[in-house]
Structure 1
Amino acid sequence: MLQRILVWDLPTRVFHWSFALSFAGAYLTAESERYRDIHLALGYVFLGMLVFRLVWGLVGTAYVRFRAFWFKPAEIVAYLRALLSPHPQHYVGHNPAGGVAIFLLLALGLLISVSGLGLYWEIGDEDWFEELHEIAANVMLLVVGVHIAGVLVSSVLHKENLVRAMFNGYKQAINAVSIPHHYTWLGISMLVVMLVFLGVYLQ
């Protein structure tokens, strides 16, 4: 019997939307000198969220730890093939395709952040950092697009609203355990710190 369980803790949801919005905002302001401060501020938020997720992937709740969605290549291929069947395999946490997307986004996020800092701090070859920064950002935009398409397809095939789940944290599952609410304070603290930082940086 399907049960409504908490899968995504508040810190993970804050990370998800802050990471997405900071990337989108930084991407849109990248070419404008007028919005340079906004671009830099969002870049720092992006980096801060990235560092959090790398740590949270090691010590966070059950479904967000890296080991929970580290799949073998054969498992990824099998899942993609199963999407064409009438009853594709369902995962409570990240499915294999989603797991690949997350690792790609985190890796590209690191490239964007390192190259951005190198460019801003004028370390080494400025042209090289600028080119790496732009390429990584454009590739990440492509991966984001594929990720969004995958979420929509999975939502239809599995008959569950994955976007809503990343807002409220809840999914329907059989014989699965709900995660604890113990880290709500951390999610709220992340929001407060981020808003204070943006307010101070952009004043």
Structure 2
Amino acid sequence: MNTTSVSHADAPASDAAQSRMLVWDAPVRVVHWLMALSFAGAYLTAENDSLRVVHVTLGYTMAGLVGFRLIWGLAGTRYARFSQFVRGPGAALRYLRSLFSRQPEHHVGHNPAGALAIIALLGTTVLLVASGWANYNDIAGHWTEEVHEAIAGAMLALVGVHVGAVLLSSVLHRENLVASMISGTKPRTPGEGIRRAWRGLAAVVLAAVLGFWWWQWQAEPAAQIGVHAVAAQHHGAKDDDD
């Protein structure tokens, strides 16, 4: 995931003039990797009933991260804002066509095609969590489970396209986009970077997620005892009837 465009056909400056500038603030990077970790964990635990609490916790985590990302997309740093990188299908097609030319469009943040992928991933996450919540709470019947699984499959496909596009863009633009999402920096001329990393806010987000995980898993044994008690009570009532 990368944010904003500088202009349609801005080519990078000469190597001599370039330096590594901060592009991705710390909250963007933390949310990105926590989202990736949460989706991978939720997907891998989906069919294991003994890990249901892990699956549900990671799903709720994704919902919270999307909520934060939407707020940060309005009030965050330059390359985190939706207004800087959401351009529409026309700009995305123009960017994709430029990849096959000798001078592909360069963007400091997210390119227009990547921006559409990000919006699709955020929207799909909302649908995924909502259908999972409905299924977990047995709302609207068994069909919600099938809807949840279908959306999870669509999400996995979007993630695959996103990862493939990042790797392809890294090769075509000769810059490691994965490393940039870890370090937050890119090789650019002065004036294109952001001034503040907001590491404190990123630490708060990470602490909130870790605290939520701890709280959920601490509460799980009590929830399991309650489930077993209800089951035992139900079994005893059946015996009395017999």
Query: TM-score with structure 2 length normalisation?
Result: 0.80
Cα separation, 1, equivalents of 2:121 and 2:201: 23
| TM alignment of 1:27-176, pairs within 5 A | 27-123=43-139, 125-174=140-189, 176=191
Question: Which runs of 5 or more residues in structure 1 are unaligned?
Answer: none
Cα separation, 2, equivalents of 1:181 and 1:74: 32
Structure 1's 200 and 72: CA in aligned 2 closer, same or farther, altered over 3 A?
closer
Cα separation, 1, equivalents of 2:75 and 2:163: 26
> Following TM superposition, by how much is the alpha carbon of 1:155 offset from its aligned partner in structure 2, in angstroms?
0.5
Query: How many matched pairs?
Result: 202
Question: Which runs of 5 or more residues in structure 2 are unaligned?
Answer: 1-16, 219-242
C-alpha distance after superposition, 1:114-149 (max 9, x if no partner): 1111122232x2323212211111101001001101
Match of 1:26 among 42, 63, 80: 42
Question: Which is further off, 159-168 or 128-137?
Answer: 128-137
- Tell me if 1:190 matches 2:205: yes
> Following TM superposition, by how much is the alpha carbon of 1:196 offset from its aligned partner in structure 2, in angstroms?
1.8
Match of 1:179 among 188, 194, 199: 194
RMSD, aligned CA: 1.3
Question: Which is further off, 140-149 or 177-186?
Answer: 177-186
Query: TM-score with structure 1 length normalisation?
Result: 0.95
SS at match of 1:160: coil
Bigger radius of gyration: 2
> Following TM superposition, by how much is the alpha carbon of 1:175 offset from its aligned partner in structure 2, in angstroms?
5.6
Contact 1:112 1:133 in 2 (8 A): yes
